[in-house]
Chain A
Amino acid sequence: MAGINQIVGLRRSTPGAAPHGSFLTGRILIILFIASCSLFITAGAQEPVSGDSLSIVPSVAPVTSLIAENYKYDDGENLVLTWVPSIDDRPGNDNVIGYQVYRITNGGKPVVVAELLPGANSFQAKNLLVDSSYQFYVVTLSGKTSSESARTAITRTEREWINWNLWNLMLITLVIGGAILVYIETAKRGKKLFVRKIAGLEAIDDAIGRATEMGRPILYIPGIQDMDDVQTLAALTILGRVAEQVARYDIKIRMPVSRSLVMTAARETIKASYQAAGRPDAYSEDMVSYITDEQFGYVAAVSGIMVREKPATVFLLGTFLAESLILAETGNSIGAIQIAGTARPAQLPFFVAACDFTLIGEELFAASAYLSGEPRALGSLKGQDIGKAIAMVAIVLGMATVTLYSLTEVSFFKTAADWLQALFTITSD
């Protein structure tokens, strides 16, 4: 309109001019006024001059229905934007080349936070602050033009203290953890709990007795991992029981370790066991020695110790990797009785093949409870069995529903199978 006015302005009557005097002057002015009006109308119908802002360029439609919502579940750092893409953004139409997402923080200046490809209809805004307010808008980009969407309402992030997406894991944790705690309490009240015989643990006394008869030491290997591995802790709890027996029978125990923290903890454990057995004088720090963190360097050293000192009994309890067979076979070659235990399924076959007794997986964790016979510890084993029962029922149900669906194609079975799968699937998003 301003451009039109510029053209017309050259021909417009002088503003404020009023006809004074003769009738002729008035008529001339009216004619001039009509002429200028017609010129005004004619000018409006002219083709626009190229290069000026009168050019009509096809515009691109903006996105619509832009909403900013709180992202569930987080520490108040995220918002999720969703929108309906521009109607010009469709297959075969190259009009839309992308989108830009703008963010306004606390009413400040807009900042580009994302550039997205055509087809995008959502964006997760990250690294936001809980105590700030945000507004967003999306700019649709075409080759030469762009269009801005309406701004979202002012939004704040929310901090959720519980991630309810993990409801299934919470439920399972509460059920299994609760069962363990209930059985611990039950055991504390004196109820006798049955635990099946574990051959490897029954053999510990005999193995230590053998070492006593032969006058040879016991070699104890707690695996190659550090104190943050639960298998190492399990190995150390068994060590306490074994060391007490060793102290009573007055035989030597030798414990080369591959981690410094394990060395420290093992020394404390053996010292306490010797004290409990009434033999604090017989304890020596040199019973536990650090070798090296390097896997095969440690294995070479332990193999050398086995071949030179020829222990009568070898305990291989904890986390082992490729070296499990090397240690087990070397122990077998010197005629030692070997009791092994690990929770790494890949190494179990080697121990089963080369050792006299093997604690398979959970038996390693049950060992300390089994050996001590302490009611609370035994109660925890019982609670563990509840977890196994749940797993077995779920496996049978899952198998049944999937099989029945594939045979009958009844949708109920599919729904049941999907629900079961969802129950045991962890999604944190």
Chain B
Amino acid sequence: MGDLRIIVALFLIGGGLFWLLVRAIRGKEVDRRLIFVFILVSVAAPILFTITFEMKPTLVVQALYDKIENLPAGSKILLAFDFDPPMAPEVQPMADVVTRHVLAKKHKAIFMTLWATGQAQFNITLEEVIRKDFPDAQDGVDYVDLGYKAGNEGVLNVIRTDFKKMFPTDVNTVPWDSLPILKGIRSCSDFDLIISVGGGKPGVKEWVLFVGDPTRVPTAGGVTAVVAPMLYPYYPGQMCGLLGGIKGAAEYENYFRDNHPQYAGMDTPAMVMMGPQTVAHVVILAFIVIGNVLFFVTRRKEVKR
């Protein structure tokens, strides 16, 4: 029944676009209200009927996946949740899936944030991913939340050489020395991978400039789609992977789910959001084509006249 509704929805959209194309060939302009209706249907239908698409990872996404996948079990990975609620729809899915991947591979996950709102965002991951999918994971042993520290780049400057100085305890005030997961960590150089998720300042760029590049620790990022183009130049020199926007998150979710069948039932919010994005983009492309057809038809008529 669900498939039938999807087919009907796509048929309606496709048929409607074809009808508009025929009208354009006849030289009839498209009322903008019709455009709005099509956008409404193209965004609503994938959400209501959960239309998702299979996504192959691009090079930068694959690179991050391979990095986490190939690290030896027990590797120490620093994850920075540097974002706020407005950015969360785009980057929370990537934060969740990367966390899931890290813990699934039995790596040690150390969480922190440079944003005051980041702690609340981590709590979402803690509830939705760590406690749900990894109930046996122990706080302080398999993962730890060091919390928020004010100071932006100043914090990065300190933890580059002395991590404990900036975070003497975790977010639950357990002393650094009492946390087994932090044994052997003095500075950022002692991590095997650093992943920053966010899209503002301080964000991935600051992590690369102040920590990743000076310490030569592999650094990766997950950012909003608007910010991603600014960071592509850093790959592969200073960054070992990059997730850009919902598409990047969806590619990662798809690839992770395909390669870790035990998580086949996991939530894939990015893939769900790619449904309306994909259909809406295709509809916009169709309207661009229709607009150009109309333009050339009209121009030809004027030339003939």
Which residue of the partner chain A has the closest CB to B162? A117
Q: Cα distance A117–B226 when bound, in Å? A: 41
Q: In the assembled complex, which residues on chain A have CB atoms less than 8 Å from the CB atom of B32?
A: 333
Q: A346 vs B162: C-alpha distance in the bound complex, in angstroms? A: 38
Looking at chain A's contact residues, the main secondary structure is: loop
Q: What is the minimal beta-carbon distance from B302 to any residue of chain A, in angstroms?
A: 21
- Please give the distance in Å from A409's CB to the nearest CB on chain B: 19
List B contacts of A346 (CB < 8 A): 226
Whole-angstrom CA separation of A370 from B168 in the bound complex: 59
Task: Report the nearest B residue to A116, measured CB to CB.
Answer: B162
The closest CB in chain B to the CB of A114 belongs to B165
B149 lies within 8 A of chain A by Cβ: no
Residues of A334-349 at the interface with B, using a CB-CB cut-off of 8 Å, are 346
Q: In this assembly, does B106 line the interface, its C-beta being within 8 Å of a C-beta of chain A?
A: no
B162 / chain A contacts, CB cutoff of 8 Å: 117
Count A/B pairs, Cβ under 8 Å.
5
Q: Is the interface of B mostly helix, strand, loop or mixed?
A: loop
Q: Which of B207-243 contact A (CB under 8 A)?
A: 226
Tell me how far the C-beta of B287 lies from the nearest C-beta in chain A, rounded to whole angstroms.
Answer: 13
Chain A nearest CB, measured from B162 CB (Å)? 6
8 A Cβ contacts from B136-187 to A: 161-162, 186
Which residues does chain B contribute within 8 Å of A333, judged by CB atoms? 32
- On chain B, the residues within 8 Å of A117 by CB distance are 161-162, 186
Contact with B along A262-302 (1 / 0, CB 8 A): 00000000000000000000000000000000000000000
In the bound complex, CA of A237 to CA of B186 (Å) = 56
In the bound complex, what is the Cα–Cα distance between A117 and B186 (angstroms)? 9
The 8 A CB mask of B73-85 against A (1 = contact, 0 = none) is 0000000000000
CA distance A346 to B226 in the complex (A): 9
Type the 1/0 row for A316-356, where 1 means its CB is closer than 8 Å to any CB of B. Answer: 00000000000000000100000000000010000000000
- Nearest residue, chain A, Cβ from B226: A346
Bound: A22/B226 CA distance, A: 112
**Complex Cα gap A346–B225 (Å):** 13
Q: In whole angstroms, what is the CA distance A346 to B32 when docked?
A: 25
With the chains together, A392 CA to B32 CA distance in Å?
Answer: 43
- A333→B32 CA distance, assembly (Å): 9
Instruction: Tell me which residues from 355 to 385 in chain A have a Cβ below 8 Å from any Cβ of chain B.
Output: none
Shortest beta-carbon distance, B32 to chain A, in Å?
7
In the complex the two chains form, what is the Cα distance from A169 to B148 in whole Å? 34
In the assembled complex, the CB of A298 is this many whole angstroms from the nearest CB of chain B, namely 17
In whole angstroms, how far apart are the Cα atoms of A75 and B32 in the complex?
62
- List of A residues within 8 angstroms of B161 by Cβ: 117
Q: Quick one: which of A106-125 are within 8 Å of B by CB? A: 117
Give the residue name and chain of the A residue nearest to B32 (CB).
A333
**Closest beta carbon of chain B to A345's beta carbon, Å:** 11
Mark contacts of A89-129 with chain B using CB atoms, 8 A cut-off: 1 yes-contact digit, 0 otherwise: 00000000000000000000000000001000000000000
The CA-CA distance from A346 to B227 in the complex, in Å, is 11
Shortest Cβ gap from B171 to chain A (Å) = 24
Chosen A-B contacts, 5 in total, with CB atoms closer than 8 Å, are: A117-B161, A117-B162, A117-B186, A333-B32, A346-B226
The 3 closest A-B pairs by CB, nearest first: A117-B162, A117-B186, A333-B32
* Residues on A facing B (Cβ under 8 Å): 117, 333, 346
